[in-house]
Structures are given as structure tokens and as C-alpha cells.
Structure 1
Amino acid sequence: MKRREFIKSVAAGVGGLSVAGTRALGAAAADKPLRVALIGCGDRGCHALLPNIVTSGMAEVVAFVDPDGRAVARARGCFKKYRPEANAEAVAAFADYRDFYKQMAGGVDAVFIATPNHQHGLPAVLAFRNGIHAYVEKPMAYTVEEGRRMLAEARAGRVVTQMGQHGHSNEGARRLCEYVWAGAVGQVNEVYCWTDRVNAREQPLAQDSACPKDLDWDTWIGPAAWRGFNRGLHPVGWYSWRGFGSATIGNMGNHIIDPVFWALKLGSPESVQLADFRSGAEGSWGLRDHIVWKFPKRGDLAPVEMHWYDGLKGDLHWDDSTWTPGTYKYIVKKEHQNLPPKVVEIEKKYGVDLGRCAAILIGEKGILCISVFGESLRFVPDSLRSAVPPPPKTIPRIRGSHQVDFMRACLGGSAACANFDYSQPLNEIVLLGVAAIEEGSGKRLDWDGKTGRFTHDAAANKFLTRPNREGWGLS
């Protein structure tokens, strides 16, 4: 198949044209590749997003944006690996995405944003104001207020959006929904989510040091409060520190909660509470979190209490003895993991291992367990699987990767499956958990989803937003 014919077939997708895809059919017609820029050329950008973009046959990479020149060089190398015939040096490069938009907005159709968490909002909003589609890594926003603003701006710009919880494109998440909607386990009242990630540190950051000459540190800091360069923050350590990362739940919550949110049609919670917390070093996120949300009745669906567990159990140290070797020192060994007691009980009762990262839905007739990225669905007890007739596959399946799904929508295909209309309410649940950690009292915080405010604790509302450094705000 010729390249032009291939792109046309991919753009056709699984249905008709999406309303948001109309700009793409003008500036980037279905017989032309999308002009794409990668904003954030670190680990996620280079190793997950860029290969999918380059090998899709749907896109032309026109710009790399990153304040670290070394990251841009790696992006060029990755591009060359997958497109050896292309001239990687011809791809434009920028340190500051504000400059990129000023100079190239008219020559770009879509951006992929894989910056550190604190820099997701502004580059996305600038894209929307220029009529540019945006794929934004999870969490799509840094605060509740920012997420709502991003959704409003995306709608106003009539652009295609996608949040990067890539498991939403997987088969297991769809089968979970179809089994739950068919009544396989009856009403679900309890949900437990857990992860083996620990995005925190027990020891403080080392002293600041001289900034590498290829790094524009002021641009890397962006909207966050100014501080000096520290190797514990860049290139990967920022996950663990307040002001840059979003706690462990901010890293993994959108992945693990997503299939539950979808299957149970959770919508907005009525409350959130930090039930347990173990602090880390000063400025670090916690070494252990237990968060509880309560969701009201939704039509015929029963109220749900959802629990989130992460971190270390007991008073164990977070060091070489507890983290998994060969990682970025943020994955805990299962024997040291802060697992939900209910999960431990179920594993013992049924002789099963439900994994280190997953969610369980406890229903009237049995238990469903969905894996971290929505790949696989398990029944507990296993005999439940044969007792329940397989429901029909009613949800459209995604052909290709999560990134291809986004680009297909940009080319006029069906709406991206994890677009902001779906993903912003999910991300808000996660960020309410982060706000509960920030608030820190451990008391129940009642939530009004319509107004976007905590109702009985005005002081807690300050954790729904953040001040932005001058020149980096969402004006």
C-alpha cells in the first residue's frame, strides 16, 4: 500500500468524522501527514511517544522542544533510528515552548506533550489557542483548577485531545466494562486500587550544583517557584518532589483508576479523605498514602467507596533494601508494599496473586481484577469466569497504539478514546487525592463537583490551584 493510501485508511478509523477533527482536514488533509511537534524529549517522549509517532506513517515530525539540549540530541537519534532515510537535523529545535508557538504555530497540526507534570497546562492551552491538537501525558493537569481550564480551552478551540493513560486503548479495560454492564458481579460497592510505585524520597535532596551548559534551567522550572539546579530533580527525580511531581497517585492513578471510572460510571465524588500517610524528606511526597473517595448513587448504580494504597508498609526505609534493583528507584518489592488489607485477605482466601499494580471491584456475585494498564481481566474466584456468559463486545476497539488513536482523530476519524471530555473528570479524581495529601489533616473533605469547591472547608480550596511564576501563567 502506498503511503498516501495508508494514511487515508488509518484516518477512516472505526467510524465517521469527529467534530474536533475539522481543522485537521483543512491544514492537514487526510492525504497528508500530520505536522507534529514533540514537547518534552525526555524518557517518556523519546522512548514511548516518538517511536509510535514516527512509525505510524501518519505524521511528519517538524519540531523538538526541550530546555535540555542533550534531550533534543537524543530525540534526533531516536528519530534517525526509526527513520534512517530522513534528515533528523532538519527538524527544528526549541528550548522554550513559548518561542516554539510564536515561531511555528502556523506550521504545526498537533503536539505531543511529555514535559514534567508541572509543565502540562500552559503548552496545552497555547496549542488550543492556536487551533492545534494536543496529546498530553498523564496527569493532564497539575491542579483541579488547571484541569478545568484546559478542558474549557480545548472545547473553545474545537481541537482533538487525548490524555496519555494508554491502557484506555487496551482490550482488558473494555472487557471489564462489558462484564460489569452485563451484571456479571452485580452491584459494586467497594473498589481497591494499589501500586508498587513510590514517588517519594526518605533522604533530602543534595546541595544544588552548577547547571549543565546545555540546559536552560529557568525554562525547565517554568511556572514553578524558582530554585537552583539540582541533579535530584533532573532528568527523572522530579517525580518525587512537591512543586514538580504529583505524588505517587499523580503518577499512576490515571492508569489504575481509569478502567474502574469507566466501568462504574463514577463521575464526580462526594468526598475525599487522606486515611493514612507517612511523610518523606522535606519537600518530598509521602512514603505511604491511603486515600478514600466516596461516590453517590448514579442512576441504578449503587454508591461506591474507592480506596487507593501506595508506598511502604510499616516503618521500613526507602533504600536499596526495599526498592527493586535496576529501576529508577521508585518500584517497591512486593513483600514491602503497602497493600490493601482486603487484597491480602482475598489472595490468601483464594490462593491467588493479584499483582503489584491493579484494581479490584468487589461485587455482590464476585470480584473482578483489572491489571495496571488495562491489559488483562481476572475473575475471583476463577470459577466465576465459566459461570458468567461472555457479554458481546459493544465498545469500539482501538486499532494501533493510543498515540495512533489520537492521530487518527486529528485526521478526521472517530473522537480519540481518552479525549479530555472523558479524561478530565478522571484526572480530577486523582488530583483531589493529591489535594487531600497537600491539605494533610486526614479529615473528610466534602466535594461539590458542580462548583469545583470543597464545601465545608474553605481553607482546603487553596490546594485546588497554585500560583504561577511571572510569565508562566494561564492568562
Structure 2
Amino acid sequence: MANHLNRRDLFRRMAATSAALAASGLPAWAAPKSANEKLNIGIIGTSGRALGNIDGVKGENIVAVCDIDDLLLGRASDQFSAAKTYVDFRKMLEEQRDLDAVVISTADHTHIPAAVMAMRLGKHVYCEKPLSHFVSEARLATKVAAETKVATQMGTQIHATDNYRRVVELVRSGAIGPISACHVWCGKTWSGGERPKETPPVPSTLHWDLWLGAAPARPYHPTYQPANWRRWWDFGSGTLGDMACHLMDLPFWALDLRHPTSVESEGPPVHPETTPHWMVVNYEFPARGDAPPIKLTWSDGEKRPSQLAESKLPAWDTGVLFVGEKGMLMADYDRRILFPEADFRDFKAPEPSIPASIGHHAEWIVACKTGSPTTCNFDYAGALTESVLLGNVAYRLGQKIEWDAAKLKATNCPNADTYLQREYRKGWAI
């Protein structure tokens, strides 16, 4: 695997790219004026989170749209009347030789089959979070991206906000001293349910077998699609998979985290079909240079870090808490507070040093055209996704994992392989 780009160097390069674009007289996002300079983009998935992603790239040439639901596909076709329509992304990628890039906003289990195929065909890829459904898939995506050298970006859109930048600067400035613990929590929950016994007819507009893709075959039921697939192990990754790439992104960025050395999870009894309504995951990350090892704890559903009550901190439903020798820093998407507040009454924040984002989607578009870096490329996003999904692996195994990231192995538990990777249905192998 290629060495990952130092995050500070990445931002220096992005700033240089932005400066060059400004000097050229082009707008900040560098959208070319003539149609033939625009990217030819294919859209895979057109509803839900896809709507925001489509909005982020609609200034380019949308030449193909793909969805497994004819009704949704028709709506997308109405918006992009010149685009060719598909129900099978494999056919789209095989036929549309003029594609420069694709945007993938499907259910988790389809992310990597689509992304890897696209990258191997030389297409730039924007893919929603979590990057993959299995740990091994994230590693494969990282490897293929490095080999093909295409521009990649995972859809952690909050990474582009000013608030995240200011939090990263506070952490790196030493405002709360060396940090050895971090708590991340989310009150959301995707959980529960038994496999339905009834088999209602497949809606006339839905291509059910194509929606299943690489996942094991099962009869259609509306409890799976749309949206609720997130709580089924075969298709989604529960609350952890849905939200941790957004929230754990902040400590990963601020603390330069990469791979944990161990992962241990707790929650209600494991269900073979569906994800739990709460989970607590303890990650241990090694020292990075002079920075001490980090214990990062994820809590979701009804669980909250005990520090919120013990330290009389605000009862936010979602947040990140950095615990340092000199104090604590609490943040969410658009807030940040230093504690104890009395100790930081006269504190002066460091001058901003991380350049403002040109926009999460715009960053990727510029990268497709110029080769400039993106901040959530598959090297960074792959490691983040691997760590996130290891929490589910430890939970389903019911034991602590000692993790060897180089070998992609749980050294103390050979059975972990069952949950690190999967077999693909015939016709869907990567």
C-alpha cells in the first residue's frame, strides 16, 4: 500500500491548487466554461443521500443515471434528459466508455462492487459513507485507488465545514494539552427486527435481484428497501456504520489516527439478522510520534459517555469529547466548547491555519481535472472505515480483537475472518 499523505501537506497542496485557480481567473471551484471541459459523470443511486450528491456535481455533464427502481430512475431522467438510463451499474460502466467519473450513493453492500469496477476502468469515484460494507473491502478500495491513481472522495461532507477545521486547530495547538482519550457518541439508532416470513410481491418498478447485488439472495420485503436496509447485517452496518464515519472523522483528522491495535465492543445479545439498538466500542490506537496512545470510545443509541454527567457537560445528543491534560474540548458538527469554561475564559484560539474548503464535492471535481488531492480520499477514508467496521466485528464475535492492520488479521481470533469479508453471489464478484 502507498504511504498515506500527511494531512498538513495535503492541505498545503490544496491551498496551492486553490491559489493557482484563483490566479487563472477561474472561479474558486474551477468549473470550466466550455461544455467539453466538463466531466462526464455517471450517477449510481438517485434517491435519499444521492439527492445531495447529485446537487453537488450537477454543474458537470451528467451523461448516465442508474437506479434499481424505475420510478426513481424516471425522476432522475426528467432532471437530466440527455443522460442514458440504466438499472444495472455494471452495464452502465461497461457501455459508457465516455464516463470520466461516477458518484455512488447506494446501500452499503453495493458501494465496493461499484467503486472497484469503476476504478479499474479508470473512472474517478465519489462514494457515500461508509466506504465499504466489510473491512476487507475498504482495504481493497484503498489498494485499487492507489494502483489506478484516480481521484477519490468518501461522502463525509461535514469534513468540509469550518467548525471541524477550528476543532482540529485547537487540538493540534495543544489547547487542552496531550490527549489520551476521546469519546464519540450518537443518539441515533438503526436496529432490531426478525426476518419476515411473508413474501409480498415485488413492486412492479423495483428490480429486486439487482438491488440485492452481491448480497445473499432472499425474498423481497418492504422492511429491507428503502432505507431500513441499514439495520440488516446483509446490507448495512447499523448506527455505527451509518454515523461513525462522520463523527469519528474528527478525532481521526485532529489526532492523526490510522489503525487501532485492539477493539472491544459491548451491546445487547447479538442477533444473527439485525444490528443492535445500542453499542459501546472501545478502540485503542498506538502512539504517533510524541503523541500518547489514544483510547477512543464510541457510544450509540441510549448510551452516553459517563464524563458528560460526571463533569457536568452539556447533554448533547451527538458529539465528540477530547480529554487532555489541561482540559476538555467538546464539539459536534457546528459547535465547540472548552472545559472547564472558567479555565479558558481568557483563552485565545490560534489563528486559522487550515484553508477553507472549496466544497466537499467541488474538491473532488477539481481533483478529477487537475490531480490535486482530496481530504477524504480512499487512503484516508479506507483506514477510517476499517476502524469503524471493526467495532461491528468485535461485537458480533463477542470478544476483544487484537488487530494486526498490516496483515488485516485479528491475531487472537481466526474466526474474525467470517465478519471481515464475504462471499459474493455469482456474477457480482469483485
TM-score when normalising by structure 2: 0.89
The within-5 A match list for 1:38-117 is 38-46=43-51, 48-54=52-58, 57=59, 59-77=60-78, 79=79, 88-104=80-96, 106-117=97-108
* Gap change, CA 1:395 and 1:12, over 3 Å in 2: closer
| TM-aligned CA deviation for residue 206 of structure 1 | 6.2
2-side partners of 1:198 and 1:206: how far apart? 24
What whole-Å deviation, never above 9, does each CA across 1:12-60 have from its counterpart, x for those lacking one?
A: 952569xxxxxxx9xx9997111111101121112x1112222xx3x11
* Gap change, CA 1:201 and 1:269, over 3 Å in 2: same
The within-5 A match list for 1:393-408 is 393-399=352-358, 401-408=359-366
Contact 1:203 1:280 in 2 (8 A): no
**Residues paired across the two proteins, number:** 408
Contact 2:169 2:352 in 1 (8 A): yes
Within the candidate set 423, 426, 429, 1:470 is matched to: 426
One-letter code of the match for 1:305?
Answer: K
Equivalence for 1:134: 125
What whole-Å deviation, never above 9, does each CA across 1:354-378 have from its counterpart, x for those lacking one?
A: x21111011111111121xx43322
One-letter code of the match for 1:405?
Answer: E
SS of equivalent to 1:90: coil
- Is the counterpart of residue 454 in structure 1 residue 421 in structure 2? no
* Gap change, CA 1:73 and 1:125, over 3 Å in 2: same
* Gap change, CA 1:30 and 1:173, over 3 Å in 2: farther
One-letter code of the match for 1:277?
Answer: G
* Gap change, CA 1:458 and 1:67, over 3 Å in 2: same
One-letter code of the match for 1:469?
Answer: R
1-side partners of 2:82 and 2:169: how far apart? 47
SS of equivalent to 1:135: strand
Equivalence for 2:279: 289
1-side partners of 2:74 and 2:367: how far apart? 30
- Is the counterpart of residue 190 in structure 1 residue 181 in structure 2? yes
- The CA RMSD measured in Å over matched residues stands at 2.4
- Is the counterpart of residue 344 in structure 1 residue 300 in structure 2? no
Contact 1:254 1:430 in 2 (8 A): yes
One-letter code of the match for 2:368?
Answer: C
Contact 2:270 2:395 in 1 (8 A): no
One-letter code of the match for 1:344?
Answer: A
Within the candidate set 360, 375, 378, 1:417 is matched to: 375
Contact 2:182 2:323 in 1 (8 A): yes
Equivalence for 2:26: none
SS of equivalent to 2:362: helix
One-letter code of the match for 1:375?
Answer: D
1-side partners of 2:342 and 2:366: how far apart? 40
What whole-Å deviation, never above 9, does each CA across 1:325-379 have from its counterpart, x for those lacking one?
A: xxxxxxxxxxxx3212222323xx25x33x21111011111111121xx433222
**Structure 2, gaps ≥5 residues long:** 1-13, 22-29
1-side partners of 2:376 and 2:20: how far apart? 17
- Is the counterpart of residue 169 in structure 1 residue 127 in structure 2? no
Contact 2:262 2:400 in 1 (8 A): yes
**Structure 1, gaps ≥5 residues long:** 1-9, 18-24, 80-87, 312-336
Contact 2:64 2:84 in 1 (8 A): yes
2-side partners of 1:52 and 1:63: how far apart? 16
Paired-residue identity, %? 31
The within-5 A match list for 1:307-318 is 307-311=297-301
Equivalence for 2:295: 305
What whole-Å deviation, never above 9, does each CA across 1:423-458 have from its counterpart, x for those lacking one?
A: 11111110111211222x2x2210011111111111
| TM-aligned CA deviation for residue 74 of structure 1 | 2.9
Contact 1:446 1:456 in 2 (8 A): yes
Contact 1:12 1:408 in 2 (8 A): no
Contact 1:398 1:405 in 2 (8 A): yes
Equivalence for 1:83: none
